[in-house]
Chain A
Amino acid sequence: MIAFVLRRLGSAVPTLFIVVTISFFLMRFAPGGPFNLERPLPPATMENLMRTYQLDQPLWRQYITYLSNAVTGDFGPSYIYKDNTVAELIGKGLPYSIELGFYALLLALVGGVTMGTIAALRQNSVLDFSIMSLATVGTTIPNFVVGPVLTLIFAIMLSLLPAGGWGDGSLSFLILPMIALALPQLAVFARLTRGSMIEALHADHIRTARAYGLPARVVVVTHAMRGAMLPVVSYLAPCAAALMTGSAVVETIFTIPGVGRYFVLGALNRDYTLVMGTVVLIAIFVIVFNLVVDILYGLLDPRVRHD
């Protein structure tokens, strides 16, 4: 088990290296640079800036400098948010994104699995259809619609919840962004659970368990659920990585101080270092969660134990 984890972590190094290299060069294909603003800078100032940030050097040298600094944890200064380094920006924003993302994940997972299971148990009933239509709606309505509608209802018309901001971090501030963030994922979990649950309920070992006269609850929760959870768990990794690294849309709509917006902002403003920082962050999250899921998989499915 430990050997497995170490091996996987070891293979993460070349993966990260490839991700960093591709992103570094791909980004430079975009025209313009971090200092081409709506208000152009005088050439002398531009030269001063390019020199200060070493952007006047050949690309390959910039790449080597970036790599050697990144290894020591120095991801460079942000060209746009000049008072902060990229590490500082991500360090400040990440806890907010993780907290919100974690709650959203919890909501999506618990809600989705519950709804999916109910739908599967009452297959082709009115309840099943209504849950599944809700799930379809959940995946099709984008969160830049859900978010504003939620604020309109709960903050402006009913004055029950804040329209945005993190405030003191209390639940009232988190409810709306959490729902907006969780809804599409909740729908995916519900559909996945329903599908695999229906399959599991028709499996031989469930029929056997039923024939033995085990109580329905035990059959569903202990036996059927275990098999049905496999596709859900494999979706968990990309989902958790996506939710916890923040969503540019939800963070912008609700003014959440997370890291999700930095990827989009960085790309639009050609803030090369900021984009690289978020790319590395997302890559790390994906790698770590994939590892976690593989371990979970082993626990759920004896066929893929990592002994």
Chain B
Amino acid sequence: MSSRVLNLRTAVLFGAVLLGSAPAFAEAVLHRGNSGEPQTLDQAHTSINIEAFILKDLYEGLTIYDAAGKIVPGTAESWTVSDDSAKYTFKLRENAKWSDGTAVTAGDFVFSFARVEDPKIAAGYANILYPIKNAEKVNKGELPLTDLGIKAVDDRTLEITLERPTPFFLELLAHQTALPISKASFEKNGADFVKPGVMVSNGAFKLASHVPNDQLVVTKNPSYWDAANVKLDKVIFYPIDDQAASVRRFEAKEMDLAYNFSADQIERLRTSYKDQVHVSPTLATYYYAFDSRQEPYSDVRVRRALSMAVDRDFLAKEIYRGSQIPAYSMVPPGMASYGEPSKADFAGLSQLDREDKAIELMKEAGYGEGGKPLNIEIRYNTNPNHERVATAVADMWKNTFGAKVSLVNLDVSSHYAYLQEGGKFNVARAGWVADYADAENFLALNVSTNKTFNYGKYSSPEFDALMQKSYAETNPEARSKLLHDAETLLMRDQPVAPFLTQADLWLVSNRVQGWQDNAANEHLSRFLSVSQ
């Protein structure tokens, strides 16, 4: 038996030698699991990371995230910033080409950004580019498109004027909404510019075919300026919204990458696949909001007590099996421009001490055992994990304060529609995933003027003032200090109780090289390769 195997090996080896460099000609294909079907491939309408993974392989913005999740030059080879930080001048690469061979010009960017802000287009993420001068007014139809603060000085020079200094502007430019489209192609093809066979793109890959809910194939773009360093010939994206199905296809070796799987699978998968299981903390916070318009949640003592009584370690370990990390700050860790976030003052205490303090605070406020009855309704969007969290939190509040807790769940659309429209509640679950790697993105949620996201209608003039100041501050350190102060305040008042920092779960096959976990969760296929 063993000799037969040996013979077979020799034969294979012999065959390989005979064929010489044959393996070098074999196509390098990456089978990339994506956690669902893209809703659109149009820069103006995209909103979710499923689309971002595809679009960023197809197109290249002025800036990009490298394999480590750091901002580096993309189609712009360099840029200068004016002294008042209000004007950016980008120099485009001379060899930046569209997949049809024509040059990528500054005019293409002007056209693309104006299209996103055009009220007629109704781009869902138009606000990503609001820091550009007049963008918000243009988007609201108050000013004509031509007033947008972006200008092509010549084919390779792009000048962008900002409404006000925006320290995270380069991060914004790496968002998929800021990817360029070819003006010529759009003028010729109209809305069909997103279709296979029609799409002209400037990234490392171009769109080859797309069968909705089956697969989307991109192939290497020979016109790409850095094509020589792109090692993959083809990437196949598999849209699989069923997490269990996605894991099965990885296990059947049909996919090299699988994105997001059920947390209860982590231990089993770690046993079988060891370091192919990646748990990477991401810029996303799982939190509960308190409705500070009503009693007793208008009382900061009640909010603090409720927040302190929640054992975050239990949620992270028992419910999420280590796939999420206990959080005591609204801003997640791992934000390069912000550093260590400002945690709530009770973060350093043990859970037992927190509970003692919580009971004291609650007594002071006059609620719970011996005081006014505490009836709490937790609202959350239907999802098995959110249900487990809500059940656990309800239990903690029952045990600590003798509270009566009821749970209400709605599907995701109804849940958020209710909160966004200012519906009243007691306690509601919410989550926030960074649009760009900056603390402001998380802290601005609770500014009193934020009509949509400030679900509990928290209103603190002190907090608002600090945030206001941070927008005007151009010195990065001073700005970071202001934001830290704002977060300290927010965590003192606890209008929101952050529970967990979310993590991205990936299965990365041993075949894949060049993979780096990063908090931005950016993984361009351009930096990956596969062994045969």
Partner-B contacts on A (CB < 8 A): 30-33, 35-45, 48-49, 51-52, 80-84, 89, 92-93, 96, 148, 151-152, 155-156, 159, 162-166, 251-258, 261, 268-270
Interface centre among A30, A45, A92 (most CB of B within 10 A): A45
The answer to whether B451 touches A43, judged by C-beta atoms less than 8 angstroms apart, is yes
Contacts of B252 in A (CB 8 A): 151, 155-156, 159, 162-163
Asked if B213 lies at the interface with its beta carbon under 8 angstroms from chain A, I say yes
Contacts of A254 in B (CB 8 A): 245
What 3 A-B pairs come out closest when comparing CB atoms? A48-B122, A32-B417, A32-B413
A40: contacting residue among B37, B214, B416, CB under 8 A: B416
- Residue of A whose beta carbon sits closest to that of B118: A48
Assuming the contacts A151-B252, A165-B215, A255-B213, asked whether A32 and B127 have C-beta atoms less than 8 A apart, the reply is: no
Contacts of B420 in A (CB 8 A): 36, 40
Contacts of A162 in B (CB 8 A): 252, 254
Quick one: which of B392-438 are within 8 Å of A by CB? 410-414, 416-420, 431, 433
The answer to whether B413 touches A81, judged by C-beta atoms less than 8 angstroms apart, is no
Interface centre among A41, A52, A261, A268 (most CB of B within 10 A): A41
Quick one: which of B1-45 are within 8 Å of A by CB? 37, 39-42, 45
Main secondary structure of the interface of A (DSSP, over half): loop
Contacts of B414 in A (CB 8 A): 30-32, 36
The complex places the Cα of A51 from the Cα of B140 at a distance, in Å, of 12
- Residue of A whose beta carbon sits closest to that of B413: A32
The answer to whether A253 touches B245, judged by C-beta atoms less than 8 angstroms apart, is yes
Interface centre among B40, B213, B411, B431 (most CB of A within 10 A): B213
Contact with A along B196-225 (1 / 0, CB 8 A): 000000000000000111110000000000
The answer to whether A164 touches B240, judged by C-beta atoms less than 8 angstroms apart, is yes
The complex places the Cα of A254 from the Cα of B412 at a distance, in Å, of 25
The complex places the Cα of A251 from the Cα of B245 at a distance, in Å, of 11
Contacts of A96 in B (CB 8 A): 214
Q: Can you name 23 A-B residue pairings with CB atoms under 8 Å?
A: A31-B413, A31-B418, A32-B417, A36-B414, A39-B433, A41-B124, A42-B127, A42-B452, A48-B119, A48-B123, A80-B39, A82-B42, A82-B45, A83-B194, A151-B252, A156-B248, A156-B251, A159-B252, A162-B254, A163-B251, A165-B214, A165-B254, A261-B213
Assuming the contacts A164-B240, A257-B214, asked whether A44 and B120 have C-beta atoms less than 8 A apart, the reply is: no
The answer to whether B47 touches A37, judged by C-beta atoms less than 8 angstroms apart, is yes
The answer to whether B249 touches A163, judged by C-beta atoms less than 8 angstroms apart, is yes
The answer to whether A38 touches B254, judged by C-beta atoms less than 8 angstroms apart, is no
The answer to whether B413 touches A36, judged by C-beta atoms less than 8 angstroms apart, is yes
Quick one: which of B101-127 are within 8 Å of A by CB? 119-127
The answer to whether A83 touches B42, judged by C-beta atoms less than 8 angstroms apart, is yes
